[in-house]
Every structure is written in structure tokens, then in C-alpha cells.
Chain A
Amino acid sequence: EPEVTQTPSHQVTQMGQEVILRCVPISNHLYFYWYRQILGQKVEFLVSFYNNEISEKSEIFDDQFSVERPDGSNFTLKIRSTKLEDSAMYFCASTQGTGGVVGGYTFGSGTRLTVV
């Protein structure tokens, strides 16, 4: 069964450093998303991406964050200067259509980011 692949599974970084989280969505999916989950809290929407541009972003997704689809297969989330509060599990997801109309979203298994 097709799956969304995220790398690395765990990233430890020093405060102030830049990190890039990588995702390979399912090949025929058109919409891509990043979510995060701070330990013990709910899953929060960060950003959605379609047709090579951001279609929606949340308040969390400030200027420190950026997304890119550099080569038609990878979908990356960059955090420019990490803060302690960026420590969380980051999930990538993809879907064929919006709102899961064609089916549910497919999520990756996540990258656990620890900022020290």
C-alpha cells in the first residue's frame, strides 16, 4: 500500500539552528500538508500546499517556517531558527482531493523534533 515517508524519524537540534524536515508524499496525490503535535497535546494544522504554492496556513506558521517542493517528489518543511517550543512531532500528509473527499488523508509516521 502506498505510504507517505518522512525523514528523519528523530532530529535533535540546538536552539537557533535551522532544520529541514523531509517528506515524500504519495506519487499521485496533489495536496500536501504539515501538522505538528506537541507532546501530549492535540494535532495542529500548520500549512497546506497545492500546485506549488501555499493554499492555507495557520497562525503557527509564521515567518520562521517555509515549505518547498523542490523536485516534484519531496515536500520539505524548514524551520529557520528553531526555538525550544518548536519541539514536537511533525507529520506530513497528502491527499488526492481536498478535505479528504476522495478519501482520508495519508499521514507519514512523523519526525520527532527535539530542540535543546
Chain B
Amino acid sequence: SQQGEEDPQALSIQEGENATMNCSYKTSINNLQWYRQNSGRGLVHLILIRSNEREKHSGRLRVTLDTSKKSSSLLITASRAADTASYFCATADNYGQNFVFGPGTRLSVLP
């Protein structure tokens, strides 16, 4: 089955720096989404990028998608301590039915 796999597993940066997280997957997708999860809390949808899109922006977030490499990246610019969370990529297959999360990247932004 397809699976999003994020790397790195953990990332620690200073406030103000940029954070880049990567996601790889195995099979064709309809779209790829990034979610954030604060410790012990629910998942918050950040951004959705469709398979025919290459880049999307939302505030300080920039997502890229390279379907030839089956990979995506999430860039958070000018990070803040409040960005500390786990970030997950999730892929939906071509039928839009199955929706699979990767194991996540734990981001720590140090003040």
C-alpha cells in the first residue's frame, strides 16, 4: 500500500530559522496533504496540493510536490516557538479513497 514517509524524524532549530521537512511516497496519488499535531492533540490540516500542482503557499508555509520523484517538501519560514509540533504528510490514492499518513517529523523550535 502507498505510504508517506517523512524525514527527518526529528528536527530542532532556532526561532527565526527555516524548517524543511520531506515526505516520500510509493504509488500514484490524487493529492498530498500536510497536517500538524500539537502534543496529544488533534490533527490540524495545513495545506493540500494536488498531483497536477508543483508548489503551493499558505502564509509562512510552502509546499512542493515532485510526482516524478514521488516526494514533497514542507518549508516553514521564519519559524516560531509555537510551530513546535509533529508534522505529518498524508496521501490520497487516485480513487481518493485510501488516505495514508506517514510517521511524522517532530519539529522543535527553540526560543
Taking Cβ atoms with an 8 Å cutoff, the residues of A that contact B are 33, 35, 41-45, 48, 55-56, 89, 91, 93, 97-101, 103-110, 112
Q: How far is the CB of B29 from the nearest CB of chain A, in Å? A: 9
**Please, how many angstroms separate the alpha-carbon atoms of A110 and B63 in the complex?**
26
Please determine whether A100 and B92 come into contact, CB atoms closer than 8 angstroms: yes
Q: Is B41 an interface residue (CB 8 A)?
A: yes
Q: A43, A55, A56, A110: which has the most chain B beta carbons within 10 Å?
A: A43
16 residue pairs from A and B, CB less than 8 Å apart:
A42-B101, A45-B99, A45-B100, A48-B99, A56-B97, A91-B43, A93-B43, A98-B92, A98-B95, A98-B97, A99-B31, A100-B31, A100-B33, A105-B33, A107-B44, A107-B45
Q: Is B93 an interface residue (CB 8 A)?
A: yes
User: B35 to chain A: which residues have CB within 8 Å?
Assistant: 104, 107
**Please, how many angstroms separate the alpha-carbon atoms of A93 and B96 in the complex?**
15
Please determine whether B97 and A48 come into contact, CB atoms closer than 8 angstroms: yes
Q: How many A-B residue pairs have CB under 8 A?
A: 75
User: A105 to chain B: which residues have CB within 8 Å?
Assistant: 33, 43, 45, 99
**Please, how many angstroms separate the alpha-carbon atoms of A34 and B90 in the complex?**
15
User: A97 to chain B: which residues have CB within 8 Å?
Assistant: 96
Taking Cβ atoms with an 8 Å cutoff, the residues of B that contact A are 30-31, 33, 35, 40-48, 88, 90, 92-93, 95-104
Please determine whether B31 and A43 come into contact, CB atoms closer than 8 angstroms: no
Please determine whether A44 and B42 come into contact, CB atoms closer than 8 angstroms: no
**Please, how many angstroms separate the alpha-carbon atoms of A22 and B43 in the complex?**
17
**Please, how many angstroms separate the alpha-carbon atoms of A100 and B42 in the complex?**
17
User: A109 to chain B: which residues have CB within 8 Å?
Assistant: 41-42
Given contacts A91-B42, A109-B41, contact A101 B96 (CB under 8 A): yes
User: A89 to chain B: which residues have CB within 8 Å?
Assistant: 40
